[in-house]
Copies of this chain bind each other. A is one copy, B any other.
Amino acid sequence: MALVACAQFSPIVGAVRANVQRSLELIADAAAQGATVIVLPELASSGYVFNDTAEAAAASEPADGFAVSSWQAAATELGVVIVAGFAETNPGGAPFNSAALLMPDGDPVVYRKVHLWDRERLIFTPGDDLPPVVDTPVGRVGVMICYDLEFPEWVRIAALQGAELICAPVNWPSVDRPIGERPGEVVRVQAGASVNRVAIAACDRSGRERGVEWSSASVIVDADGWPLALTDHAADARRVHGPDETAADRDDAPVTILAEIDLAASQTKLIAEYSDVFADRREDLYGRFAR
């Protein structure tokens, strides 16, 4: 069993030192509550809404920079696994939208977001590598970032590589949805988990940033796709986002959600006497249609 935490907060664009400092406090708090896996938002060190590549580059660091080194030190000191997003310096051009996985006494494993959302393609360089799946002290952990989750192929690849838990830093922009519905991203996380029998922890961010309102909808789901923990904004299906919402409804206060997950449960893909979500795949047919 692993106690998994999503430490949702509101990074300030460009304020790397302050953001990392804030994240370290939240990591220490989560570890004090017993968390052994701690997920932070996408671009936790840098903020998200950059005006251009130059501004993103100025808030970027290499994988041995202040942000990742600080998280690595915290992982070792606290004996926890950390997955956190950062803007990664790219000597060859625009920075990467990256996430690092840190474990005690390990080396950082860095993943570069492959599926860039909307205007990110004007700011960042996309990654070209598969999502890493890493043996950690708590189990096999996969890493991907935000819009990556919306591609079933990507979640499948991580699961087929043996991920028991996918840790996904995200920044989900808030969009209108029908009354009675969770954010669509939460629905897709639930589905991605259940069709693969893999747990997923998606850590969102909160607050407003240069006109973008974030969803504050962090969620942790088990391998059956049921939410074990959600923030109020992910869970409150009756909430309607709109002009009536007050600032207090969507403040910048950090929220950490926690859930105990039996990661070993992800190893069985059986969902009925004869049905196995991996063995039942028809790979002989999936390649027959090429677009």
Contacts and interface: CB of A to CB of B under 8 A. Distances in A.
A275 B175 CA distance: 15
B151 A121 contact: no
B153 A281 contact: yes
Contacts of A157: 286, 289
Number of identical protomers = 2
Contact of A275 (B117, B226, B288): B117
Contact of A187 (B118, B191, B274): B191
Given A151-B195, A152-B156, A281-B153, A273 B187 contact: no
Nearest to A235: B180
A22 B38 CA distance: 56
A160 B291 contact: yes
- The bracket for how many chain A residues form the interface is 35 or more
A287 B291 CA distance: 13
Contacts of A245: none
B273 A118 contact: yes
A161 B290 CA distance: 10
Q: Which of A116, A190, A277 has the most CB of B within 10 A?
A: A190
A210 interface: no
Contacts of A272: 117-118
Contacts of A151: 195, 280-282
B194 A188 contact: yes
Interface string A173-192: 00001100100100110111
B152 A195 contact: yes
A224 interface: yes
A249 interface: no
A288 B224 CA distance: 27
Given A147-B275, A160-B291, 20 more contacts: A115-B282, A117-B272, A118-B272, A118-B273, A118-B274, A122-B274, A128-B285, A130-B289, A151-B195, A151-B282, A153-B153, A153-B156, A153-B281, A178-B226, A181-B226, A184-B190, A187-B225, A188-B191, A190-B191, A283-B291
12 contacts: A115-B280, A118-B273, A119-B274, A130-B285, A152-B195, A154-B286, A177-B226, A184-B194, A188-B194, A188-B195, A191-B191, A287-B287
Interface of A: 114-119, 121-122, 128, 130, 147, 150-154, 156-157, 160-161, 177-178, 181, 184, 187-188, 190-192, 194-195, 224-226, 272-275, 277-278, 280-283, 285-289, 291
